[in-house]
Amino acid sequence: MLLTLRQIMQQVDRAATLDDALAMAVQQAQKALSLDACAIYLKDPEGDTYVLVASDGETPPMLEPLGGEPGRRLVTVVGQRRELIVELETKVQPADGAPKDLTELAAGSFLGTPLIHYRTLLGVLVARKPAHQPYAADEVTFFLSLGAQLAKLVHEAAAMDGVGRLLRRDARADPYIQAVSAASGLAIGIAVSAEAQTRLESVPDRVAADPVAEEAAFNAAVAAARDELQAAGERLAGTVPEAVRALFEVQVMLLGSDALVSDTVDGIRAGNWAPGAWRTTIAHHAQVFEQMDDPYLRERAADVREIGQHVLMHLESRVRAARGTPQRCILVGETVGLAEIAAVPAPCLAGIVSLHGSPLSHMAVLARALGIPAVVSLAHAPELLDGRELVVDGDEGRVYLESSPALLKDLQKRLDRKRTRSAELQALRALPAQTQDGVQLPLYANIGLPADCAAARISGAEGIGLYRTEYRFLLDEALPVEDEQLRDYRQVLEAFAPMPVTLRTLDVGGDKVLSSFSVQEENPFLGCRGIRFSLDRPELFLIQLRAMLRANAGLGNLQVLFPMIGTVSELDEALHLLARAERELVAEGLEAARPRVGVMIEVPASVFLVGAMARRVDAFSIGTNDLTQYLLAVDRNNVQVVTPYDALHPAVLDAIRQVIDTAHRFGKSVSVCGEMAGDPAGALVLLGLGVDALSMSPPLLGEVKRAIRCLTHERARQLAEAALGMEDGFAIHRLLHRALDRIRACSGST
């Protein structure tokens, strides 16, 4: 039976549409199990009704899609119970609301299984045999497995709105491709492909006929790519704020990486031609980032691959054919880089569609700065978009294909409303995040490179709440020396002085592995992470601490933050090394300044040690991402176990409350720098819990500020109290979003 199932699913996967796939599945199941009938009902997501979308064989009353028919209620029972039901008339008691006498409703042997994917009930798969013909064990297993695979199929089809159109039986509905929003807004235009060269990953290895010539060609390509990126940034002068152009400096800096160049040269000298050696180097460095848990650092893999592609273009000596650009151009590509964006005349570029990528990419940052809607990571895309009219909906993360006049009219109304809202948020940029009863909550930015200071300043951030120093370490295989670190830290501190800047000490381990210190661990996320790594290698830790103290000289706006502290002894050892670094600098006659010191609360044990640590440090910063992950034992990157409500889990909120209350008893401040801080709903409950500051990705700051300015601190406190009295994150989510709905009606002038 399993072989039959595999063959059926191979046929189903080749179906052109969801309708065809489901029809084929029930047809083949009917034959495989010798059924009288087999059918699939999909659940209407907006109600509790089920719609018959595919059936095969004889259609008995129990399978007819009539709301009043008894069999329709049997389908409902399967959905209500969310379990496999075999021979319902004799083996299953009625669920609440089901008919009391089920035996009179089944004319044969009934078999039903729910279609569930990621805990969501999508529909029901049902079958019937003649009366008194039982199902064999392998037939039940076959049916259950078929239901599980069809559930996945239906879930994926929903990305194209296939389920909705199937339920509505509306062939005129506007089809769309579901993606991920990278930059908000709406745009209508003609798709233009950004692809113009061989993909780097497809480059083969080839013996270098002349290694010396290959090395020279490679160095020339790197130099040309670097010059081109610098020129592209200059072309944007006057189009975007000056600081945003610093994004190009990131890629220029990557091209100047000794590791990228030297590894490639080594590959060439070992006998590979330049493109093949470059491909190997880029793949290695990108993989290091891709395996990281931190979404910001993981996205740096895209930067590495993007410059890899750019250098390959010069290695191939290809010149892009001149082509006309539509007046309203939607730039489409497997990946869309900064150079591709800058190459399109600014008045023509209306939107961006990147089939792969992340909303954390520099492309996304630039798109937001340009005010251009962008989407990434399309769930599905036709083979050819080039030349088609597209609507890019950056708000919902959708791409519409050749939309109807009715949809275009609706989108235009939304665009008008969005422009009004954007103007309101822009007007708030220079205003404080202050409640209507006068309580002010500082809003800081999370960044990882000096170039990111630009976006943080533009957003109106009042300082840096989290600077991820590990990015510099992960960028090069060679560890950055003290002067290199000093230069980076000083640049960030000067950019915001006298506003506070929090530099987190090296936070590697887990999925963030330094190539120079590769450690094999069975469970790296519970291994040598964060402060444990730094304390194991005090010689590296002291170099970083010395660079931080020197960078603070004459400025005094630095706070050092120790990550992943789980014991008081770890904190004492870290403080001892900080004091030692200061003594060494004084003895050497180098200028330095003692900083404030903070501890990240992200290990559950640290929640209960705040009192002891408060006697030693100046402040606390709660990293809600890891704290949530460790408290709830869920991998926040695994969609099968994580939900949008985990950060609002009662246990997480109670832990945060406990940290704040204890720290405040000792007169110490508490900030939150996890994703929860950048969610307006999360920001409301954190404000009510008494947090002293929030730190988030720069693009999120405007909406959070708006929410804070549109309510009183007392109202936020009431919401927090109500949330703490609830028993699950979903209920808390509903409570806070009802409050947000009312807040969104608040005038932008507040």
Closest Cα partner for 392 from 585, 201, 176, 632?
176
> Which residues contact residue 462 at a Cβ distance below 8 angstroms, ignoring those fewer than 6 apart?
442, 443, 444, 499
What CATH number did the domain enclosing 422 receive? 3.50.30.10
Last-in-domain residue among 428, 462, 478: 428
Question: Residue 310 in 3-state DSSP?
Answer: helix
In a domain, 732, yes or no: yes
Q: pLDDT grade, residue 633 (50/70/90)?
A: confident
Q: Higher pLDDT residue, 480 or 379?
A: 480
pLDDT at 426 over 90: no
E strand segments, 535-618: 558-562, 596-601
Q: How far is CA 70 from CA 66, 133, 536, in A?
A: 9, 21, 69
Same-domain pairing of 514 and 623: yes
pLDDT at 67 over 50: no
pLDDT value for 103: 38
pLDDT value for 746: 58
Give the pLDDT mean for 218-231: 85
What CATH number did the domain enclosing 709 receive? 3.20.20.60
Mean pLDDT highest for which of 162-166, 420-424, 510-514, 528-532?
528-532
Same-domain pairing of 311 and 337: no
- pLDDT tens sequence across 680-739: 999 999 999 999 999 998 878 988 999 999 999 999 999 999 999 998 888 898 899 888
Fill in the DSSP letter of residue 500. -
pLDDT value for 333: 83
Q: pLDDT grade, residue 104 (50/70/90)?
A: very low
pLDDT at 20 over 80: yes
Number of domains in the chain: 4
Give the pLDDT mean for 561-574: 96
Span of 91-105, 452-466, 500-514 with lowest mean pLDDT = 91-105
Give the pLDDT mean for 633-644: 56
- pLDDT tens sequence across 572-610: 999 999 999 999 999 999 999 999 999 999 999 999 999
Q: Higher pLDDT residue, 272 or 386?
A: 272
In a domain, 462, yes or no: yes
Q: pLDDT grade, residue 309 (50/70/90)?
A: confident
In a domain, 469, yes or no: yes
Last-in-domain residue among 129, 150, 168: 168
Same-domain pairing of 438 and 420: no
Q: What is the number of other CB atoms lying within 10 angstroms of the CB of residue 574? A: 25
Q: Is the peptide bond before 345 cis (omega within 30 degrees of 0)?
A: no
Dist CA 183 CA 178 (whole Å): 15
Question: Assign residue 132 a region: left if phi > 0, alpha if psi is -120 to 50, beta otherwise?
Answer: left
Same-domain pairing of 677 and 718: yes
Q: Looking up tokens 């991998």, which residue turns up?
A: 635
Structure tokens at 367: 């798109």
> Can 329 be counted among the known catalytic residues?
no
Same-domain pairing of 407 and 443: no
Same-domain pairing of 474 and 517: yes
Same-domain pairing of 702 and 554: yes
Beta sheet of 120-129, edge-to-edge order:
50-57, 37-43, 120-129, 109-117, 85-86
In a domain, 81, yes or no: yes
Span of 21-30, 243-252, 477-486, 615-624 with lowest mean pLDDT = 243-252
pLDDT at 106 over 90: no
What CATH number did the domain enclosing 93 receive? 3.30.450.40
Mean pLDDT highest for which of 44-53, 106-115, 622-631?
622-631
Dist CA 124 CA 41 (whole Å): 5
Last-in-domain residue among 319, 351, 386: 319
Q: pLDDT grade, residue 322 (50/70/90)?
A: very low
What whole-number percentage of the chain has pLDDT above 70?
A: 79
Q: pLDDT grade, residue 614 (50/70/90)?
A: very high
Same-domain pairing of 502 and 645: yes
pLDDT value for 750: 44
Same-domain pairing of 339 and 214: no
What is the DSSP code string of 221-285? HHHHHHHHHHHHHHHTBTTB-GGGGGHHHHHHHHHT-HHHHHHHHHHHHTTB-HHHHHHHHHHHH
Closest Cα partner for 644 from 558, 528, 734?
734
pLDDT at 644 over 70: no
> Can 673 be counted among the known catalytic residues?
yes
Find out whether 405 and 385 touch, Cβ atoms under 8 Å: no
Same-domain pairing of 288 and 162: no
Same-domain pairing of 546 and 673: yes
Burial of 491 (0-12, 13-18, 19+ CB in 10 A): middle
E strand segments, 67-222: 85-86, 109-117, 120-129, 176-178, 180-183, 186-193
What CATH number did the domain enclosing 276 receive? 1.10.274.10
In a domain, 249, yes or no: yes
Span of 24-28, 104-108, 194-198 with lowest mean pLDDT = 104-108
The β-bridge relationship of strands 398-401 and 176-178 is antiparallel
Same-domain pairing of 502 and 392: no
Q: How far is CA 119 from CA 39, 58, 184, in A?
A: 22, 32, 29
The single residue of 117, 285, 314, 362 carrying the catalytic annotation is: 362
Q: Looking up tokens 């947090």, which residue turns up?
A: 691
- Residue-number span of the structural domain to which 10 is assigned: 2-168
Average predicted confidence (pLDDT) for the chain: 81
pLDDT value for 288: 82
In a domain, 375, yes or no: yes
The single residue of 673, 710, 713, 733 carrying the catalytic annotation is: 673
In a domain, 750, yes or no: no
In a domain, 56, yes or no: yes
